[in-house]
Amino acid sequence: MATALNPGGDVRIKMLYDRDAGYARLHTVCQQTFRRPTTGGTSHLSRNGMEKLSVLAPEDCAVVRQMIDLGSPFLSNRLYLRALLEKILTDEVDNRISDYFGSEYLPLWCRTYRNDPGGEQGVSFRWHCDGGPSKHLKLLLYLNGSDVHGGNTQFLNRDTTAAFKSIGYVFCDINERLGDLSALSHEHDIPYQPLRARVSEGDAILFEPANILHKGVWPTKGSRYLLQICIVPSPVAWRDACSRYAIPRGNADWPCVDKNWPAKTASDAQPLTSEG
């Protein structure tokens, strides 16, 4: 059956987050108040919208995996996550993120995942872009390697994503997402060359999920452990932001940007539901 496309869906999502929720204005203000020297958008992340970095030591990955297995409440404790972020947001990661935004940034929310072979695959395992501001980042931290579990994440580059946006595939009905875009790409003459990196324990992939089509690859050999961080521009450095506000949050909703930015609790502002 033909996929029901949604022409203009990407423009509507852009208006919803960038304009109505205030994220474009926030980004401008953050860039204007940025005081650190940057490399001016020259990183691989800034130029291509994705980059892989080695981030977390194997012993730290093992601890987080064990906590996921135990369902530890620390994984939703902001003080614990704040300490974990200290290890993840290394100088190298910090440089990439600040180069991408041209501003300071903050971790809006942080979640862990465990996917087991044979489990039910959610919609994140079909090609999609995340609903959110045009300029935001996800950091996918692989807590064990793709060689161990057989899972991964696949990506399509910005140009290919833009082509799929132009035909209305991106931000189509969530139930219309496809696991394989070869037929649709052939039908619309769009190049289709999925990218996938070999990820080792502790590797992180930084990417812009609103502009890069992506899909999870379900594990085949063992459990796939992942920590995901959503990152947005900030008027103050992330450590300062975490000490002032209730972030990182545990839910994936988007607070509207207002004078209370970022909203102290989910009830402080009207949140938008993420399609991540």
130 makes contact with Fe ion (CB under 5 A) = yes
> Distance between CA atoms of 89 and 75, rounded to whole angstroms?
17
Q: Which of residues 237-276 bind Fe ion (CB under 5 A)?
A: 276
208 makes contact with Fe ion (CB under 5 A) = no
Q: What is the dihedral of CA 224, 201, 247, 91, to 10 degrees?
A: -160
> Distance between CA atoms of 266 and 271, rounded to whole angstroms?
7
Closest CB 19 distance from Fe ion, rounded Å: 22
Stretch that binds Fe ion, among 13-21, 55-63, 125-133, 167-175 (CB under 5 A): 125-133
Angle CA(195)–CA(198)–CA(199) in degrees, nearest 5? 115
133 makes contact with Fe ion (CB under 5 A) = no
Helix, coil or strand: residue 140: strand
Specify the residue, 219 or 235, whose C-beta has the smaller distance to Fe ion.
219
Q: Hey, what are 271's tokens?
A: 């949140």
Closest CB 259 distance from Fe ion, rounded Å: 30
Closest CB 174 distance from Fe ion, rounded Å: 11
Closest CB 212 distance from Fe ion, rounded Å: 9
Specify the residue, 51 or 130, whose C-beta has the smaller distance to Fe ion.
130
Closest CB 151 distance from Fe ion, rounded Å: 14
Specify the residue, 65 or 177, whose C-beta has the smaller distance to Fe ion.
177
Main-chain phi, psi angles of 156, to 5 degrees: -120, 145
- Helices and strands (H and E) in the chain: how many: 10, 8
* Under 8 Å between Cβ of 234 and 30: yes
Specify the residue, 171 or 192, whose C-beta has the smaller distance to Fe ion.
171
Question: Which positions touch Fe ion (CB under 5 A)?
Answer: 130, 276
